[in-house]
């Protein structure tokens, strides 16, 4: 039963937030694995805890309890600089709102993670350019983000996520700010990246978007469910 | 390399808020400008005073009779005895009082046609006055008062620069006659303009002090300067001077005379100058601190404005120390540029001051370096808190804020 090569392995993860005196449990014992080379969607409505789950997978946050293994490394009690290094080398982030720095050009945005990886300047440029070519934006390298369409900005963000050659691409509602056609183009890119061997984990609330993945994990109120359970609960909740 | 990218990034961030950056920088500029100007002006004035005094060829001691009822003044012979003490370069008595000067109508070069009368200071000095006190200025026309003039009490005079301009404009008056009270004096020379601390000679008519005593009844000098040979031990010479004073003034007792080392006076003056400058510099430092608080304020605003950016950078793998460095560099760029501008303005201000006050402007690279170091420190100190705040920011919260 256990996967042959799990890249992400979550066991009984819990997380809650404290807001003054009020205690908000967000995740109640999440257990699942993602194998190397998989394309997994985490589908859930807003407030389901999927963003918290993504933060934990992305090493932006740590669980209260449970075990998170990234590759064969346990992410627990690591100093912030090590977490930063993992985010830099092992994970590529794609956000709903692109998160490009507005005052620097597309290629400079793509080079940013390489600066933090201390890659020499000459190599930074070549590698960033290669990633922009991969997403078909080599000719827009010198453009500022505001000179690009939403879809182009998201492609720049994907290039930035890939430039340190991470094992995992972690996307949070990557099509949320895009129209359907552009969103589909982004999904095409994800699928072809996945074919090249990159593990993709995508968080979304959209069934259609989620279906681009090879496997869907359903999350509701901080728990994982099977497809049938999820659909029943979702309908029940809405009804 | 990483450092360079960070600096480039900081510049672009600061440029994006050029007005805010400049206003923040202004605080540092004002602080550094005042500090540098004060230090440079203070140093210039101090240097000038020291130059003037060391230009006199050694240390000076002023001998003064306190109780002139016991002894009204020193005679020629007594002054000679002081002059011949071991280690004494010479003595310089100075008499001074106001007298009526009259220019005769026949004088061709005078600016005035009729008999012209003016009241001016007449100074009685010896040749030593010219060879030391006014040595740097030198003579514009003719010659100065010689030993012979002093010995023979000749009726000659030298015009100070301002007095000459007032009476003769641009002509050489050498050889002409000027009446002091009712005595004809031949003008033998004109002094160049004196600059520095003692410029009384500029507006005076200078005569041999023996003539002043005898002909103009200005009384014996009750005070004179002793110039000590540079090669001699000052304290030993002062002891000899005091011994001779005691011998000459034994009836007046210990308090009948005073021997004051000019160096002590100089020290006192410099101490006061330092104190005043120190206080002003203290105020300037306060201005700089206020400038620093301005930087801190701006950086705190910047950090909270750029919360999302900080979150993103962290998500992309920026370590806390890297984030901290970035904001610290921004603060330091503001303060260092403010410092550079301040140094330039401060030097400009002290150069203008040097023209107005009349001391020699000197650029001291140490002072400039010190000012820059100071501004750097201000940037680091006041940039630290905002930079730490940025470094400690939680990436999730930061990303969520967008």
Same domain, yes or no: B21 and B63 = no
| Residue pLDDT, tens place only, A170-223 | 999 999 889 999 999 999 999 999 999 999 999 999 999 999 999 999 999 999
% pLDDT > 90, chain A: 79
Q: Report in angstroms the alpha-carbon separations of A156 from A110, A111, A139.
A: 7, 11, 12
Using alpha carbons only, give the angle A203, A206, A212 rounded to the nearest 5 degrees. Answer: 75
* Most A CBs within 10 Å, among B4, B313, B317, to test the A interface: B317
Out of B1, B9, B314, closest to residue A121 by CB: B1
For residues A219 and A44, the answer to whether their CB atoms sit within 8 Å is yes
The whole domain housing B183 covers 58-261
Q: What pLDDT does residue B216 have?
A: 87
Q: Report in angstroms the alpha-carbon separations of B214 from A82, B95, B208.
A: 97, 12, 10
> How many domains is chain B partitioned into structurally?
2
> From the CA of B316, how many Å to the nearest CA of chain A?
5
- Looking at B228, B261, B294, the residue that finishes a domain is B261
Chain center to CA of B216: 36
Q: How many residues does chain A have?
A: 239
Q: What pLDDT does residue A3 have?
A: 44
| Residue pLDDT, tens place only, B173-191 | 888 888 898 888 999 999 9
Which of the residues in chain B have pLDDT under 50?
Answer: 57
The values of phi and psi at residue A206, to 5°, are: -105, 115
Look at residue A59 and tell me whether its pLDDT is greater than 50. yes
- In angstroms, the CA B386 to CA A224 distance is 41
For residues A186 and A175, the answer to whether their CB atoms sit within 8 Å is yes
Across the interface, whether the CB atoms of A89 and B399 are under 8 A apart is answered no
Beta-bridge partners for B3:
none
Q: Which residue of B has its CA nearest to A84?
A: B317
Res. A110 pLDDT band, cuts 50 70 90: very high
Same domain, yes or no: B311 and B203 = no
The mean pLDDT of chain A is 91
Same domain, yes or no: B16 and B79 = no
The ipTM, to two decimals, is 0.91
Same domain, yes or no: B7 and B75 = no
Same domain, yes or no: B197 and B230 = yes
Same domain, yes or no: B68 and B163 = yes
Q: Residue B86, exposed/middle/buried by CB under 10 A (0-12, 13-18, 19+)?
A: exposed
Q: What pLDDT does residue A239 have?
A: 37
For residues A30 and A217, the answer to whether their CB atoms sit within 8 Å is no
Same domain, yes or no: B228 and B87 = yes
- In angstroms, the CA A10 to CA A58 distance is 12
Q: Which residues contact B363 (CB under 8 A, 6 or more apart)?
A: B40, B347
Q: What pLDDT does residue A2 have?
A: 44
- Looking at B261, B284, B305, the residue that finishes a domain is B261
Same domain, yes or no: B47 and B113 = no
- In angstroms, the CA A54 to CA A157 distance is 17
Q: What DSSP element (H or E) covers B172?
A: none
Same domain, yes or no: B210 and B272 = no
Q: How many residues does chain B have?
A: 402
Same domain, yes or no: B243 and B115 = yes
Across the interface, whether the CB atoms of B320 and A120 are under 8 A apart is answered no
| A174 three-class SS | coil
The values of phi and psi at residue A186, to 5°, are: -60, -40
The values of phi and psi at residue A150, to 5°, are: -60, -45
Same domain, yes or no: B70 and B46 = no
Same domain, yes or no: B20 and B143 = no
Out of B6, B317, B399, closest to residue A113 by CB: B317
- Looking at B205, B238, B261, the residue that finishes a domain is B261
Q: What pLDDT does residue B117 have?
A: 85
């Amino acid at each position: 039963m256990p996967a042959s090569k799990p890249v992400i392995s979550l066991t009984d993860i819990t997380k809650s937030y404290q807001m003054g005196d009020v205690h908000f449990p967000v995740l109640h014992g999440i257990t699942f694995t993602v194998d190397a080379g998989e394309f997994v969607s985490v589908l859930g409505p807003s407030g389901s805890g999927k963003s918290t789950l993504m933060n934990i997978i992305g090493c932006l946050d740590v669980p209260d309890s449970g075990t998170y293994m990234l590759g064969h490394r346990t992410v627990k009690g690591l100093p912030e600089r090590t977490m930063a290094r993992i985010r830099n080398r092992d994970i590529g982030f794609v956000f709903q709102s692109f998160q490009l720095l507005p005052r620097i050009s597309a290629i400079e945005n793509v080079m940013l993670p390489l600066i933090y990886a201390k890659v020499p300047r000459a190599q930074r440029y070549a590698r960033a350019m290669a990633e922009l070519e991969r997403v078909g934006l080599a000719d827009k390298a010198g453009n500022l983000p505001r000179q690009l369409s939403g879809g182009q900005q998201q492609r720049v963000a994907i290039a930035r996520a890939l430039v340190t050659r991470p094992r995992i691409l972690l996307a949070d509602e990557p099509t949320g700010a895009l129209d359907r056609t552009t969103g589909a183009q982004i999904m095409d890119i994800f699928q072809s990246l996945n074919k090249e061997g990159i593990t993709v984990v995508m968080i979304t609330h959209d069934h259609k978007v989620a279906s681009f993945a090879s496997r869907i994990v359903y999350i509701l109120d901080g728990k994982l469910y099977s497809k049938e359970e999820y659909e029943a609960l979702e309908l029940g909740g809405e009804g | 390399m990483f450092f360079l990218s960070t600096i480039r990034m900081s510049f672009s961030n600061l440029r994006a808020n050029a007005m805010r950056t400049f206003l923040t920088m202004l605080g540092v500029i004002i602080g550094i400008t005042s500090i540098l100007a004060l230090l440079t002006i203070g140093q210039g004035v101090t240097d000038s005073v020291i130059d003037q005094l060391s230009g006199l060829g050694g240390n000076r001691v002023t001998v003064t009779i306190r109780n002139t009822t016991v002894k009204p003044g020193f005679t020629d012979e007594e002054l000679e005895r002081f002059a011949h003490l071991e280690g004494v370069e010479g003595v310089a008595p100075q008499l001074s009082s106001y007298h009526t000067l009259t220019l005769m109508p026949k004088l061709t070069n005078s600016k005035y046609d009729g008999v012209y009368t003016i009241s001016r200071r007449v100074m009685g000095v010896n040749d030593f006055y010219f060879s030391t006190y006014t040595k740097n200025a030198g003579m514009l026309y003719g010659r100065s008062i010689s030993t012979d003039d002093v010995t023979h009490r000749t009726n000659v005079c030298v015009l100070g620069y301002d007095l000459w301009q007032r009476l003769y404009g641009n002509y050489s008056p050498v050889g002409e006659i000027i009446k002091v009270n009712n005595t004809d004096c031949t003008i033998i020379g004109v002094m160049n303009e004196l600059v520095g601390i003692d410029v009384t000679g500029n507006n005076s008519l200078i005569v041999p002090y023996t003539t002043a005593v005898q002909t103009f009844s200005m009384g014996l000098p009750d005070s004179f300067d002793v110039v000590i040979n540079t090669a001699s031990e000052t304290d030993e010479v002062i002891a000899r001077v005091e011994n001779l004073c005691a011998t000459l003034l034994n009836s007046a007792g210990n308090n009948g005379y005073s021997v004051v080392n000019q160096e002590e006076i100089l020290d006192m003056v410099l101490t006061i100058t330092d104190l005043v400058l120190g206080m002003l510099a203290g105020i300037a430092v306060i201005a700089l601190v206020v400038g620093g608080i301005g930087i801190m304020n701006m950086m705190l605003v910047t950090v909270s404005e750029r919360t999302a950016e900080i979150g993103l950078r962290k998500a992309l793998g920026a370590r806390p120390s890297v984030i901290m460095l970035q904001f610290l560099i921004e603060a330091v760029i503001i303060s260092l540029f403010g410092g550079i501008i301040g140094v330039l303005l401060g030097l400009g201000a002290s150069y203008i001051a040097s023209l107005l006050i009349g001391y020699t402007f000197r650029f001291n690279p140490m002072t400039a370096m010190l000012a820059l170091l100071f501004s750097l420190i201000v940037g680091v100190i006041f940039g630290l808190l905002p930079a730490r705040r940025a470094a400690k920011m939680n990436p999730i919260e930061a990303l969520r804020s967008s």
